[in-house]
A and B are shown apart, each in its own frame.
Chain A
Amino acid sequence: MKYLCLIYDDEKKLGSMTKGEADAFMGEYMAYTESVKTSGHYLGGNALQPVATATSVRVRNGKMSATDGPFAETKEQLGGYYLIEAKDLNEAISVASRIPSAKIGTIEVRPIMVH
């Protein structure tokens, strides 16, 4: 089974970290990524630029509109993702629970639809 682990962080909280804290947090992410590569769970993953850089695109009645990025007022924003391989949801939850942001934000674990 493939699962997408969507990482929701509070950007304000991340932004208020001291340089030392931010470096330590990045270090945790690098160690985590290494560990899931070694364990064979890792299929892919990326960090995203802050939500201020986002653009929402919609087509309505054939007309395209592009507007400034989504729901900036919500507390937690999508900050990155991992695509993982796990044998079932319990294993996926266990892998997701070790993502560094799980301690400060929320990880949403979504199974990939199989066709």
Chain B
Amino acid sequence: MPDCPWSPGPSGPGHFLGVTGVALSAMSDIQSRVDAIYRAESRRVLATLIRLLGDFDLAEEAVHDAFIAAVEQWPREGMPANPRAWLVSAGRFKAIDTLRRRARFDASLGALAIHLESTMAAAPETEIVEDDRLRLIFTCCHPALPPDGQVALTLREVCGLTTEEIARAFLTAAPTVAQRIVRAKAKIRDATIPYQVPGFEDLPSRLDAVLHVVYLVFNEGYSPSSGESITRGDLSREAIRLGRVLVELLAAPEAMGLLALMLIHESRRDARSTPDGDTVLLEQQDRALWDRHLIAEGESLVERAISSRRFGPYTLQAAIAAVHASAPTANETDWAQIAGLYDVLARADPTPVVALNRAVAIAMRDGPEAGLVEIDRVLAGGELDDYLWAHSARADLCRRLGRVDEAKTAYARARALARQGPERRFLERRIAELARARPRT
């Protein structure tokens, strides 16, 4: 999550600091509650304000202003009964103020301010529709926007990721991402892309872009692009929540497949890192820590999706995850079935990352030598040069084949690409183990 924008700075609400100690502790209590509300509600407040104000930038400013107002007023007047409704209402007033100020330079904004004020009187505060987030998602993922713009905009607006976080998720530069977002917003405004959930006929065709975005959000939460903590549960939970909304709304097989995939991955959350935050690989995980409820829910979704016969890459990935989940121990994993599913997936979704994972499955089924041939074929494509798991997987196969020098080189390459503490420590442990190992002769 981005830094809370109202954090007291030189121009922040620092005047609280002059009050008594009692008020101070009450204030810090309110501040932490505002922080929690910001994390839980700021995107919903934004989604509703975009609908009410009809403008992304004006709505973002209004959210910012509404939270500043909350920090100023809640310690004095107490927490409102419905903080989200309060924030939406405050944001709307702030936006009208902003338009009035600007109307001194641009008279047309005055008319807009009056219009907003009149519609405000008519609309009760309880009119906060849960659909607003869905409106926001489908607008951000509108096919008239370029695909990279859709993804960047959704991560920024729906999930509140910073431009820098999105840039790392995309393996691209922050200014590039910032430009994609600005252009996408400009097109929404200038071409009048409506703020609505598509109609029944358009819905399935609009779904693919949305699912792709949800998947990226889940991945950002499951293995974040930087920082010390290996998981950011809030983002993963957010993606799962979005996935549930989509399944409920559409009952589309690939929406089920994606939700199943996320649930089965999520089931391993407690098992995939040590209390110190270090990575535990799938084969070393304590399977008693896997959440059986999430797995069961995921498996039943996979079955529903597959029986529809209209499934695609997400359902196949979920089916692979389900095979892993059903193995009582790592040694009992049905690698033949997994490699077979990867063959189908590689045809449905011919990307280098899928090819890499297929290579690893082949190594497990047919031995490290066969896997290494496949990995080198993938790496020769050049698209995974900066993908640390490609080098880490190659290193692991070389290690198992006793090719220690090659393994060291590949681990060092992966280590240089690692941005996260736990990833770095995992690779450093592997490098240290190799230093102790002696080459097979």
Contacts and interface: CB of A to CB of B under 8 A. Distances in A.
A90 B191 contact: no
Interface residues of B, number: 10
B249 interface: no
Interface string B198-212: 100010000000000
A92 to B, nearest CB: 8
Interface of A, secondary structure class, is mixed
Contacts of B142: 89
B144 A1 contact: no
Contacts of A109: 191
B192 interface: yes
B196 A111 contact: no
B190 interface: yes
Contacts of B193: 88-90
A100 B142 CA distance: 24
Nearest to A113: B190
**Of A87, A88, A109, which is in contact with the most chain B CB atoms at under 10 Å from its CB?**
A88
A87 B202 CA distance: 17
Chain A interface size range = under 10
Contact of A88 (B194, B198, B202): B194
Contacts of B194: 87-90
B136 to A, nearest CB: 16
Nearest to A110: B191
Interface in A59-115: 87-90, 93, 109, 111
**Of A87, A88, A90, which is in contact with the most chain B CB atoms at under 10 Å from its CB?**
A90
Contacts of A90: 193-194, 196, 198, 202
Nearest to B190: A111
Contacts of B198: 90
A88 B142 CA distance: 13
18 contacts: A1-B192, A87-B192, A88-B192, A88-B193, A88-B194, A89-B142, A89-B191, A89-B192, A89-B193, A89-B194, A90-B193, A90-B194, A90-B196, A90-B198, A90-B202, A109-B191, A111-B191, A111-B192
Question: Lowest 9 A-B CB distances belong to which pairs?
Answer: A88-B194, A88-B192, A111-B191, A89-B191, A89-B193, A1-B192, A90-B194, A89-B192, A111-B190
Interface of A: 1, 87-90, 93, 109, 111
